[in-house]
Amino acid sequence: MIQYVIRRLLLVFPVIIGVTFLTFAMLLATGDPTSAMAGEHASPALRAAIREELGLDDPLLVQYGRFVWRLLQGDLGRSIMTRSPVQSELKLFFPATIELALAAMFLAILVGIPLGILAGSRHNSFIDLGTTFGALIGVSMPIFWLGLMLLWLFGLKLNWFPTTGRIGADVQLQTITNLYIVDSIITGNIPALTSALRYITLPALALATIPTAFIARMTRSAMIDILGMDYIRTARAKGLVERLVVTKHAFKNALLPVVTVVGLQTGSLLAGAILTETIFAWPGMGRWIVNAIVARNFPVVQIGVLVFALIFIAVNLLVDISYGWLDPRVRYD
Amino acid sequence: MADPVSTTLPTDAVAQPVSSAPLSPLRLAVRRFRKHRMAMFGLGLLILLLLYISLGVLLSRGYCAPLKQEVSGEAWANCNDTGLKLQPPSAGHIFGTDVIGRDILARTIYGGQISVLIGISAAFVEVLLGAFIGALAAYYGGWVDNILMRFTEAMLTIPSLFLLIIGSHFFGNRLPAFNFLGRELAGGVVVIILIIGATSWMYLARIVRANVLSLRERDYVSAARALGASDSRIIFLHLLPNTIAPLIVSATLGVANAILSEAYVSFLGLGVQGATATWGNMLDGAYQYLETAPWLWFFPGTLILLTVLGINFVGDGLRDALDPYSTKHL
């Protein structure tokens, strides 16, 4: 097992090298950043000075090497726009996105798995057809459309939830992790907790829809496959109550594909976060990176995209490792 | 080597049972598809939408005040009567008007044509790239496989929306407008098609690779090789046609994905610019009018939802229908 984890970790390196190189090369291909920094009408001398300062005239591989070397030393560079270290901006925006993504994934698992079990264990029933149909709608849902509808209906018309931001302006909260929900629980700050929960509800709902649908679909089809197996018939034949057959015998074995889907959905969750953050003015990484792309703020884009990629890699690494725990027959060799 | 014998033999061998057997794989697939209630529902929905964006053209006419004359067709969709901007839905403008006074109904019709064009073309690019890269990796194996698959993984790891935004922001409006089937289209349309295609082929490449890996060890491939068939002939004539099922399913779902991607990029304000309407760029800026003019985003958004829904229903049906081991009838 340990050996497998190590080998799996080693396999991550080529992908990380690939990702850093891709983000690096992609941005170089998009043109000259000096006009963004010094303005369209900057003199050639000023541009040359900036190019010199940033080392943009060196060979590609030298620039890439320097980029990686700085990363390894923990130097993430400076934002071209604000001139502040990328690291400090990252510390500000990263927790907001993580909080939103975790809340959405939590909702998706909480709703998707029970729905999938219910639908799969009552194959072809009314609830099964309803779930299948609903899940297909969920999978097809344009996230901005859903977000706008939620915002319009529950935020503006019914006025049930706040529409923009992470927490009420009138709430005092001592930040530790910058995950507002966690911070307010740690400090026992009830007003801050309710405020943070109210602010996160709509964006988390919008972001959770697609993963919920995928998880419900996958759980359903895995349950249907497994409930048709011989050992399930045996369990029923020996007189086990159906509830235990479904939850203990079937579900545990249906978890493997479900966990895979959860891992893969992280990718679309992160992409969805970009749109959700735009709609709900959520001060997270998605908006930070999109704004940086528009402003040709290369250091921010490079680090931002790299962080998203690393999250995706880490989650899928965890998924791979969890296979052995979920199914002891999975051998790592 | 083009040996006439090798061209006729396999096709005959395949064609024979297809024409004579009462239930060919194709017929079985069609039968399974028709029994798939949701797929048939999706197909119906898509046909209605296609009728809307094609026959709707006939209804697209009205009096354009700035031009002081009755106009029809796309001219009506592009007629901006600023005196009538941000009108709520009414008898004259059933879906209301946009920020510069254009008729939203007409724009959803013409925009729908472009969105569908973008969807189909981008899916085509996706299938082309995915099939090619997947087949190359599997067929040649070794370092070719290694490099191509690591590249695929790296591409998969970066959220494709970022790649899309970066691509369309920097290459978005570099191409001049061009003429297509008698219509003037913004150059950004081609750019967005290529970018969506280039950022969505990865899953397909992996599926094709897995299929080809198992196919290339089959006896009929060895036979083809023994007959002196070239690598490209084996890949394009013997291997890829046998992975047609996932290709068809991916292409179908790819259309939905491309329409969504275009809308996402446009929603962020980085999509096709200019007069050419797409469902996506009708949403650009609609965010500012969230409360004051919900018709701006409601109608194009709903059309996108219905189209994607219809395609996904059909794609699901196709997946079940084309799977030879499928016994599901639903």
* pLDDT per position as a tens digit, B163-177: 888 888 777 666 777
Q: Is the ipTM of this complex over 0.90?
A: no
Mean pLDDT of B212-232: 87
Minimum-distance CB partner of B159 among A14, A132, A267: A267
**pLDDT bucket at A33, cuts 50 / 70 / 90:** low
In this predicted structure, the answer to whether residue B8 has a pLDDT above a threshold of 60 is: no
d(CA A58, CA A80): 19
Name B185's bridge partners. B178
Higher local confidence (pLDDT), B222 or A175: B222
Q: Looking up tokens 């690393």, which residue turns up?
A: A310
Q: Which residues contact A10 (CB under 8 A, 6 or more apart)?
A: none
- A19–B157 C-beta distance less than 8 A: yes
As a dihedral over the C-alpha atoms of residue A318, residue A319, residue A322, residue A326, rounded to 10 degrees, the angle is: 160
Which stretch, A166-180, A199-213, A267-281, B154-168, has highest mean pLDDT? A199-213
- A308–B162 C-beta distance less than 8 A: yes
Residue numbers in A near B305 (CB within 8 A): 140-142, 145
Chain A, nearest residue to B259 by Cα: A142
Task: Give residue B172's pLDDT.
Answer: 67
**pLDDT bucket at A304, cuts 50 / 70 / 90:** confident
Chain B, nearest residue to A278 by Cα: B268
Residue numbers in A near B119 (CB within 8 A): none
Task: Give residue A110's pLDDT.
Answer: 93
In this predicted structure, the answer to whether residue B2 has a pLDDT above a threshold of 50 is: no
Task: Give residue B130's pLDDT.
Answer: 92
Report A:198-227 residues touching B (Cβ under 8 A).
none
Minimum-distance CB partner of A145 among B153, B158, B305: B305
- A14–B150 C-beta distance less than 8 A: yes
Let me know if A61 is exposed, middle or buried by CB neighbors in 10 A (0-12, 13-18, 19+): exposed
> Cα angle vertex B122, ends B121, B124, to 5°?
65
In this predicted structure, the answer to whether residue B52 has a pLDDT above a threshold of 80 is: yes
Residue numbers in B near A300 (CB within 8 A): none
Across B10-19, B129-138, B235-244, least confident range: B10-19
Mean pLDDT of B255-263: 90
DSSP for B211-234, written as a single string:
HHHHHTTSHHHHHHHHTT--HHHI
| A132: contact with B, CB 8 A cutoff | yes
Mean pLDDT of A278-296: 85
- B283–A270 C-beta distance less than 8 A: no
- A136–B313 C-beta distance less than 8 A: yes
d(CA B55, CA B38): 25
Mean pLDDT of A115-130: 87
A249, A117 contact by CB (below 8 A): no
Which of B146, B157, B270, B319 best probes binding to A when mutated, by most A CB atoms within 10 angstroms? B157
- A313–B157 C-beta distance less than 8 A: yes
> Cα angle vertex B261, ends B259, B264, to 5°?
110
Mean pLDDT rounded to a whole number for chain B: 80
pTM above 0.90, yes or no: no
Tell me chain B's radius of gyration from C-alpha atoms. 23
Name B62's bridge partners. B71
- A15–B305 C-beta distance less than 8 A: no
Mean pLDDT of B132-143: 89
- A137–B162 C-beta distance less than 8 A: no
Token pair for B28: 């079985």
Q: Looking up tokens 């400076």, which residue turns up?
A: A78
Tell me chain A's radius of gyration from C-alpha atoms. 24
As a dihedral over the C-alpha atoms of residue B237, residue B242, residue B246, residue B247, rounded to 10 degrees, the angle is: 20
Which of A290, A307, A312 best probes binding to B when mutated, by most B CB atoms within 10 angstroms? A290
Listed in sequence order, the DSSP H helices in chain A are: 2-29, 34-38, 44-54, 60-72, 86-121, 126-140, 143-150, 180-186, 190-227, 230-237, 242-244, 251-279, 285-294, 298-326
Task: Give residue B1's pLDDT.
Answer: 43
> Cα angle vertex A258, ends B313, B205, to 5°?
60
- A152–B290 C-beta distance less than 8 A: yes
In this predicted structure, the answer to whether residue B193 has a pLDDT above a threshold of 50 is: yes
A305, A23 contact by CB (below 8 A): yes
Length of chain A: 333
Residue numbers in B near A31 (CB within 8 A): 170
| A165: contact with B, CB 8 A cutoff | no
A113, A188 contact by CB (below 8 A): no
In this predicted structure, the answer to whether residue A54 has a pLDDT above a threshold of 80 is: no
In this predicted structure, the answer to whether residue A28 has a pLDDT above a threshold of 80 is: no
In this predicted structure, the answer to whether residue B13 has a pLDDT above a threshold of 70 is: no
A217, A116 contact by CB (below 8 A): yes
Mean pLDDT of B147-153: 87
Chain A to chain B, count of Cβ pairs less than 8 Å apart? 114
In this predicted structure, the answer to whether residue A146 has a pLDDT above a threshold of 50 is: yes
- The set of long-range contacts for B4-10, using a CB threshold of 8 Å and a minimum separation of 24, is B5/B227, B6/B224, B6/B227, B6/B228, B6/B229, B10/B220, B10/B224, B10/B238
| A11: contact with B, CB 8 A cutoff | no
Task: Give residue B330's pLDDT.
Answer: 35
